Amino acid sequence: MIDPIISTSAALALSVIFASAASHKIRHPGWFRRQVSEYELMPGVMVPTAALMLPATELAVATGLLWSTSRPYAGVLAFLLISLYALAIAINLARGRKDIDCGCSGPAMRQPLQPALLARNGLLAIIALGALLPMLERPMGLLDNFVIIAAGTVLVLLYTTTDLWIANRPLLLKLSGEK
């Protein structure tokens, strides 16, 4: 049992993160189809279906997290999706394919696969667990709602920052000639 502030702010942040991820994939369907096939995890015939299903699931998760009744299901789905992405990245890292694009943040921000992305997904999974856990019942005041929104905003901002930070890392390594 955890306090509703923790669970609700985590769900709010996760919802925004998933909605933004889905929007990249829906706005550039051709790019995402190429991205899915580049990961080389499934036979070619399944790629168009998967490229449609993934953003649809993300959108469903983003919407489901907003209501407390559907939150546990959406939370489980979010956790599974995050683990699935982490697994896909881990398999390709193990194959040594570090040069393919991650496809994490839309076509505008390309970044190669790197172990740091697994850590990022680990953090996302922790947020998903936070949204999943059962809530304590207690009356919510104005200040509680303020804290939920503020904490959600900070989480989203920090996530975006971390994402950019990870994306900048290979560029820096390239500059100093270590890669």
Partner 1 sequence: MQALIVSNVLLWLLLIATSVVLLGLIRQIGVLHSRIAPAGALMLDKGVEVGQPAPQVTAADRFGRPINIGYAGERSTLLFFLSPTCPICKTLLPAIKAISRSAKDLDVIYVSDGDAAEHDKLISQAGLEKSTYIVSPDVGMTYQIGKLPYAVLIDKAGTLKAKGLVNSREHLDSLFETELLGASTLQDYIKAQSEAPGIHTPS
Which residues are near partner 1 by CB under 8 A? Answer: 109, 143, 146-147, 150-151, 153-154, 157-158, 160-161, 164-165, 167-168, 171-172, 175
Q: Which two tokens stand for residue 51?
A: 């490229």
Q: Measured from the CB of residue 164, what is the shortest distance to partner 1 in angstroms?
A: 4
Q: Measured from the CB of residue 123, what is the shortest distance to partner 1 in angstroms?
A: 15
Q: Measured from the CB of residue 18, what is the shortest distance to partner 1 in angstroms?
A: 19
Place of tokens 């850590």: 119
Side chain identity at residue 128, one-letter code: A
> 69 or 99: whose CB is closer to partner 1?
99
- Do 107 and 79 contact (CB within 8 A), yes or no? no
Please, how many CA atoms are within 13 Å of residue 14, restricted to the half-sphere of its CB?
Answer: 36
Q: Measured from the CB of residue 161, what is the shortest distance to partner 1 in angstroms?
A: 5
Secondary structure of residue 177 in the 3-state scheme: coil
> 53 or 150: whose CB is closer to partner 1?
150
> 87 or 157: whose CB is closer to partner 1?
157
> 67 or 146: whose CB is closer to partner 1?
146
Distance (Å) of CA 111 to CA 86, 103, 160 = 15, 8, 14
Backbone angles phi, psi at 154, to 5 degrees: -60, -40
